[in-house]
Structure 1
Amino acid sequence: MNTFFWISYIVLWLLVVPLVLLNLVLFRQLGIMVMGTARGVNQSGIPVGRKLPDAVTTDLQGSSWSTSGLAGTAAILLFGSPTCKECAQIIPDFTRIAKKHHVKPVLLLFSSAEHAASYISTIGYEDEAVLVTSELARQLDVQVTPYAYAVDGSGVIRHKGLVNSREQLEAYVKATIAS
């Protein structure tokens, strides 16, 4: 009886540990799916239909950059991080799709200037890139990456939320020019 107990105890723990890890992975995926739905998107970020607020930060060279500089231009703002694997996978599509539809791509990085410059160089990104400070993240209500705002020429947010695929990027860019 004692041997049976210990064997079953060990087997159960060998089953429980992988199940816990699998649940953590599934919860992450569920979070991504919920954030990609209207319900999840409405719970975070600036609401669609509102103007993008004036917010100021710096570019990678230390010069001032402001969201008000986007006035009159349809733009897609992609928030990323050098440590975000999904961001690195969609940035080439981000640039290509934005340019194809004549929408200005702006990459906003949660990073230090040095780390961001190294990252930009490594991935070969050549368009506008700026740094996200905690103040800018608070003003634009962004907490996760890769997160995007599609802004039309009048500065109104037309689409927002997590962006994990080329198809989602296409939808965001098209939303800026459909208005």
Structure 2
Amino acid sequence: MNAFFWISYTILWLLVVPLVLLNLVLFRQLGIMVMGTARGVNQSGIPVGRKLPKAETSTLYGKPWTTEALYGNSAIMLFASPTCKECARILPDFGAVAKQYGVKPILLLFATAAQGQAYMHAMEYDEEVLLVTPELAERLDVEVTPFAYAVDPGGMIRHKGLVNSREQLEAYVRAARAS
């Protein structure tokens, strides 16, 4: 009886651990799907059709920056993190897609200046990078990465939500230019 108990106990744990991991993966995918729908997108971020609020931060090298610097340009703002695998996967396409469509790429990192500089060097990203402070994240209502806003020349948000592919990046830059 004792041997049977330990064998069944071991087998159950061998089944439970992969099931827990599978559930975590499924919850992540469900989150991506919900955030990609109108219902999920409307629950996060500044509503589409509203003006981007005034907010300030700095570049990786300490130069001040404000959202008012976007006025007059179509832009795509991508919020990323050095620990986000999806961010690293789409970052090479980010600058290329923005240039292809003539939209200003604004990369905002949830990182310290030192972490951001190391990450940008590793990713070989040459465009200007901004740091996300807790105040900026709260002001722009961003909690997850990779999250993006498509902003028209008047500072209005035209599209928002999670971005996980080149096709989604293209949809954002087209929305920013559609004004």
CA shift, 1:3, in A, is 4.1
Match for residue 125 of structure 2?
Answer: 125
Residues 12-41 of structure 1, C-alpha deviations (whole Å, 9 max, x = no match): 222122111111111111111111111111
Amino acid at match of 2:48: V
Match for residue 36 of structure 1?
Answer: 36
- Stretches (4+) displaced over 3 A: 1-6
Match for residue 66 of structure 2?
Answer: 66
Residues 88-123 of structure 1, C-alpha deviations (whole Å, 9 max, x = no match): 111111101101111000100111111111211221
Amino acid at match of 1:57: T
Match for residue 11 of structure 2?
Answer: 11
TM-score by length of 2: 0.95
Residues 132-156 of structure 1, C-alpha deviations (whole Å, 9 max, x = no match): 0000000000001110000001110
| Alpha-carbon separation, structure 2, partners of 1:144 and 1:156 | 21
Identical columns (%): 70
| Alpha-carbon separation, structure 2, partners of 1:157 and 1:52 | 6
Which ranges of structure 1 fall in alignment gaps of 5 or more residues?
A: none
Whether 1:53 and 2:63 are equivalent positions in the alignment is no
Q: Secondary structure at the residue paired with 2:12?
A: helix
Amino acid at match of 2:137: A
Whether 1:113 and 2:113 are equivalent positions in the alignment is yes
Q: Secondary structure at the residue paired with 1:60?
A: coil
Q: Secondary structure at the residue paired with 2:46?
A: coil
Match for residue 104 of structure 1?
Answer: 104
| Alpha-carbon separation, structure 1, partners of 2:67 and 2:101 | 20
CA shift, 1:178, in A, is 1.3
Q: Secondary structure at the residue paired with 1:34?
A: helix
> Which stretch of structure 1 is more off in the superposition, 41-50 or 20-29?
20-29
TM-score by length of 1: 0.95
| Alpha-carbon separation, structure 1, partners of 2:6 and 2:116 | 53
Q: Secondary structure at the residue paired with 1:107?
A: strand
CA shift, 1:6, in A, is 3.7
Q: How does 1:84-163 map to 2 (within 5 A)?
A: 84-163=84-163
Amino acid at match of 1:39: R
| Alpha-carbon separation, structure 1, partners of 2:169 and 2:49 | 18
Amino acid at match of 2:54: D
> Which stretch of structure 1 is more off in the superposition, 46-55 or 119-128?
119-128
CA shift, 1:79, in A, is 0.4
Match for residue 77 of structure 1?
Answer: 77
How many residues are aligned here?
Answer: 179
| Alpha-carbon separation, structure 2, partners of 1:99 and 1:117 | 22
Which ranges of structure 2 fall in alignment gaps of 5 or more residues?
A: none
Amino acid at match of 2:102: H
